[in-house]
Amino acid sequence: MEPTGTLTEADWAAHRPAVFGAAYRILGTVTEAEDVTQEVWLRVAAADLSEVRNLRAWLVTTAARTSYNVLKSARVRRESYVGPWLPEPLPTGPDASVRVLTDESVGTAMLVVMETLSPAERVALVLHDVFDFPFGRIAEVLGGTPAAARKLASRARVRVAAVRERPRASRAETERVLRAFKGAADAGDMAGLVGLLHPDAVYIGDGGGRTTAARRPVHGAGTIALLAIRSTAIRLPDSFRIIEVNGYPALVTYRAGEPVWLDTVDIADGRITTFRRLANPEKLAGIGHIRIRRLVSLPNPLSIEGRSPNGRTTRWHTS
């Protein structure tokens, strides 16, 4: 593309997904990524682009540098976050308002692992492995040397290798398992839930201190099943729907039209190995509401009886 000195609306429309995509992969939150995208737009609108030879690279570089600064300041907030931290879901279905390439790098499992990386490692990995930036340009963003940028990306790559190499269940199987889990939880079917979970499954709940949620990971099929039944009995959801977030099916549960939580899963050999429940209302804001009508009617579990892992019968009454 020949430099023109100004950015046209068509240019911005063409490159905005890459700008947002870089910011979201680095930050893991839609809200912050949108803020960065807006800041890039304001900068580019006032910039002289006559010397810019590769507009996409220039825009992504600006987004990465801005995101890097945001992420460094956000680390303090995230380190004091109440309970486990899950990424803010990005709707990616055909009706999604945000258009961004959906690959493994925006998957929920990948973003969770990337949260363990340092800000510099995260930027280096995204720019090199997703956007194919040379290490010299990455070094300019991070303020180091190309050799240091290469080392950062290599170290990050080792950390995320397990997620990249893990076989991924099909969308159809994921949706089937999500629906089956939901149905069993609503029915108080302890055996059915345990059958859907790997014996060593882990449950990660994110309430952000704003709603009731487990403040540390929960391990074991029986314990997770019990927690799922109890949560349903307490919150009394009345409808749900399957949507696509981060490139894969997720199940959103509602009460009176408001999203209560969003569930995503990792599956191996037909069983859930990782169950993630996002209940922080701030992070659910982008999922949207539904009309006050039943998309899918659920039973009203006023009294649910299930069998706990120790064999005792447990009842929860919501009245």
**In angstroms, rounded to a whole number, what is the distance separating the alpha carbons of residues 110 and 16?**
22
Predicted pLDDT at 237: 85
Q: Is 212 exposed, middle or buried (0-12, 13-18, 19+ CB in 10 A)?
A: exposed
**pTM score of the predicted model:** 0.80
Structure tokens at 28: 């893991």
**In angstroms, rounded to a whole number, what is the distance separating the alpha carbons of residues 162 and 150?**
20
Report the 3 state secondary structure along 227-242.
HHHHHHHHHCCCEEEE
Strands 197-206 and 218-219, by their bridges, are antiparallel
Predicted pLDDT at 235: 84
For domain 171-317, which architecture applies? Roll (3.10)
Structure tokens at 70: 């945001």
Predicted pLDDT at 9: 85
The Cα-based distances of 56 to 213, 283, 303 in angstroms read 41, 29, 57
1 neighbors 55 (Cβ within 8 angstroms): yes
Same fold, 9-165 and 171-317: no
Please report, for the chain, the start and end positions of each structural domain, with discontinuous segments joined by +: 9-165, 171-317
Nearest one of 258, 5, 215, 264 to 111, comparing CA atoms: 264
Predicted pLDDT at 186: 94
Name the superfamily (CATH) of residues 9-165.
PhyR, sigma-like (SL) domain (1.20.140.160)
The rounded average pLDDT for each run of 10 residues, N- to C-terminus, in the chain (319 residues) is 66 92 93 95 85 91 96 76 89 60 73 92 96 97 97 95 83 96 96 98 93 89 96 88 92 92 95 96 80 38 34 32
Q: What is the largest CA-CA distance in the chain?
A: 74
Predicted pLDDT at 49: 82
